[in-house]
Structure 1
Amino acid sequence: MITIITSTGNSLQSKFDLRFGRTSWFCVYNSSDNSVQFIENKDKNANGGAGTKAAETIAELNAERVISGDFGPKAKSLLEQFKIQMIIMDGPNKTIGEIINEIKK
């Protein structure tokens, strides 16, 4: 299963980012082979539509679920259309590695 986690940086020590469309990085965690990859959010500074562009990126990565702190209404609607599960987490002090360890349990 591919899970996307919004991240402030591109390492397992990076902090979880509560923002979805404006996150700096997407951590792509694949539980089938335990691989981790970081993809830069190229649309984080877009004048508008950052959330919908982020949702499209998530779909292109074949994600089945995404973990973030909040989803705007347009992004939420698009993720629902793509049948991608949204998990809202309130843990800005957690690292990406800690979240992945929780997923593995």
Structure 2
Amino acid sequence: MRIAFTAKGTDAESMMDPRFGRTEFILIFDEEKNEYTSFDNREIDGVAHGAGPQTAQKLFELKPDVLLTGNGPGGNAATALSQADIKIYTGAGSMKVAEAYEAYKQGKLTEF
């Protein structure tokens, strides 16, 4: 399974980014390979409108099975993501990536 995280850094010790559309990084944890890869999403800060759908598009390209985030996507991004087969879990905004992963595995996050 591939799990995506909205994060403020590029590794498991990074803090989660509670935002979806304007998250600084998207981390992907591949459980089969037991490795993280990251995508730098900071260029989205220069976008006036449509950050959520643009980040959703990048997520489609990265092909995760699950997204862990803080507050969840906004309306337009949520609509776009609902058409993909990506399960979204919220409530991880104040955690480190590794803590969010453990909270997800223990069923402590909220399905969006």
Normalising by structure 2, what TM-score? 0.83
- What is the DSSP-based 3-state SS (H/G/I as helix, E as strand, rest coil) of the residue aligned with 1:60? helix
1:5 corresponding residue in structure 2: 5
Runs of 5+ unmatched residues, structure 2: 107-112
Cα distance in structure 2, aligned partners of 1:91 and 1:51: 17
Contact 2:6 2:25 in 1 (8 A): yes
Moved >6 Å (runs of 4+) = none
Given the alignment, which residue of 84, 87, 91 partners 1:85? 87
Cα distance in structure 1, aligned partners of 2:69 and 2:92: 8
1:19 corresponding residue in structure 2: 19
Runs of 5+ unmatched residues, structure 1: none
1:60 corresponding residue in structure 2: 61
Given the alignment, which residue of 62, 69, 75 partners 2:77? 75
Backbone CA RMSD of aligned residues: 1.6
Contact 1:21 1:44 in 2 (8 A): no
Normalising by structure 1, what TM-score? 0.88
Percent identical residues:
26
